[in-house]
Structure 1
């Protein structure tokens, strides 16, 4: 069983399982695509023929490039439907986007899952909602709106602090602090971090803490510099943020009180870079 705020079920090796959206590539190759991989695939194809065969895809990518260029991290997100694309166009878009650093799932009230995958162009996301069929779209923003809505609507505003079990040491003041900070938080305020790596918390303390605030509907993984796992708790504005080394050992275990943790968010400079890269891709391969 792993140490840390999140407690693994019996036999579990990973705190969460994030299922990539996945898509058949133009060349039927398996696995996820990096930016270099996607461009290498496009370079082997006839760009003029692609542009003629996939006009809706090229038009969509051009619109996305324009929107990303003007996007800011604190601005509302913008959505792009994929319903008018044929199968070839969908595969083309998937190959251009590839898979970026952040992925995750959101559990929805009806029992379905929303799968989230950042593209290699930071700030551009693919979202698929699994229902009877599936509903898929692209979204430009710091984080998909469905994450922020679930964090606000599918968590509790308050919690009760019960009697801790025998052997508990420091959990009561920590819970009181979490409760106070969570209720005081307002959008725009700086997030506050409680570092369990430094706190003298016993396994009994951590177990009671986890049991008290519970698990929430959002599970995210960022694989930038190492692996970071972000889980919403059952309490609004409270997140478990854990950093792991290459051996999958927790090296930093925290609770973050605030909005969606910044490790999962695209920043203003990400949008600028992504707009430039996408424009270059369109000019090089479809013009």
Structure 2
């Protein structure tokens, strides 16, 4: 089931179809699969010189390493603005953090678009809001808060179920289940998963289901050997979660009723691992 976020502005359509957003659009340089690239070797000979030239970036990385080490999966996120960083410092931040497998776009109430990308270190995110001049920051947490806010503020609290079209088989009971579960769900409760792959749903059923739940403001994609696409629907607390194989064929199609799907969230052990790795990277840059 496709639930592309049609609430995004017309000018954002290209960004949506091109998920994950390219590194250039996020102000991120390509540093390959590891977080330590060649920038330092190319530009500086020692860590003292690097720290002297990039003091704000040095402080931000140190603070982020300490923050991610103490972060909890359900805790409030921590933000570090890039506004006071020079272009050189931004490049250093980008090289150290690298580009992970998770990226996405979020539509905002004012019509602007936010782009997010997780670093190679889980639980550390780069967020860019708007175009030039863009507001950019590093965020430490399970998922950027902007995702949760948009999924709550820009979705409907109710699911309106209309008359099923000719040829529909099982869509009305599924819609009734979604509405009941969405109304009953509260923070802290386990998510309820509806496996559309296993249900006897006709093409008419699926089309009416998509029409009924609508499109929401959040799209996330996770790249690996295959991919996972997580999209908010137009109904609050209802998400489309789809898994694809390496040929981009869908292998599991679900609707999840609850908070941000757990597949999109960094876990407690991720924070601990990322803190350890980031401290090691900082030592490599600033021996």
Measured in 2, the distance between the counterparts of 1:192 and 1:34 equals 37
Name the CA shift for 1:33/1:132 in 2 (closer, same or farther; >3 Å).
closer
CA RMSD of aligned residues (A): 2.2
Q: Residue 174 of structure 1 corresponds to which residue in structure 2? A: 174
1:62-141 alignment to 2 at 5 Å?
Answer: 62-131=62-131, 133-141=133-141
- Say which SS state the counterpart of residue 36 (structure 1) adopts: coil
Once the two structures are superposed, what CA deviation does each residue of 1:133-162 show, in whole Å capped at 9, x if it has no partner? 210011000000000000111100002110
CA distance in 2, matches of 1:15, 1:62: 33
In 2, distance between residues paired with 1:244 and 1:8? 19
Describe the superposition over 1:53-94 as per-residue Cα deviations: whole angstroms up to 9, x where unpaired: 111111110011111110010100000011221111111111
1:19-98, aligned counterparts within 5 Å?
Answer: 19-22=21-24, 32-36=30-34, 38-44=36-42, 45-48=44-47, 49-98=49-98
Asked if the contact 2:35–2:281 (Cα under 8 Å) also holds between the matched residues in 1, the reply is no
Counterpart secondary structure, 1:103: strand
Provide the secondary structure at the position in 2 that maps to 1:38. coil
Alpha-carbon distance in structure 1 between the residues aligned to 2:221 and 2:191:
19
Verify the 8 A CA contact 2:5 2:219 in the aligned structure 1: no
Q: Provide structure 1 residue ranges, at least 5 long, that are not aligned to the other structure.
A: 26-30
TM-score, structure 1 normalization = 0.90
Structure 2 CA distance, aligned partners of 1:179 and 1:281?
Answer: 47
1:143 matched to which residue of 2? 143
Q: Give the Cα separation in 2 of the matches to 1:74 and 1:39.
A: 32
Which residue of structure 2 aligns with residue 251 of structure 1? 251
Shift of 1:39: 3.5
- Find the counterpart in structure 2 of residue 17 from structure 1: 18
1:15 to 1:136, Cα distance in 2 relative to 1, 3 A: closer
Partner of 1:28: none
| Residues 1:199 and 1:65: Cα distance change in structure 2 (over 3 Å) | same
| Change over 3 Å in CA distance of 1:5–1:35 after alignment to 2 | closer
Cα distance in 1 for residues equivalent to 2:18 and 2:30: 16
| Offset of residue 225 of structure 1 | 4.8
Tell me, yes or no, if the aligned pair for 2:30 and 2:95 is still in contact at 8 Å.
no
Which 5+ residue runs of structure 2 have no aligned equivalent? 7-12
Indicate conservation of the 8 Å contact 2:127/2:136, yes or no. Answer: yes
Larger mean CA deviation between 34-43 and 94-103 belongs to 34-43
In structure 1, how many angstroms separate the alpha carbons of the residues matched to 2:201 and 2:16? 20
Alignment of 1:116-265 (within 5 A): 116-131=116-131, 133-265=133-265
Query: What's the TM-score once normalised by structure 2's chain length?
Result: 0.90
Residue 284 of structure 1 and its aligned partner are, at CA, apart by 1.8
CA gap 1:81/1:8 in 2 versus in 1, 3 angstroms: closer
> C-alpha displacement at 1:104, in angstroms?
0.2
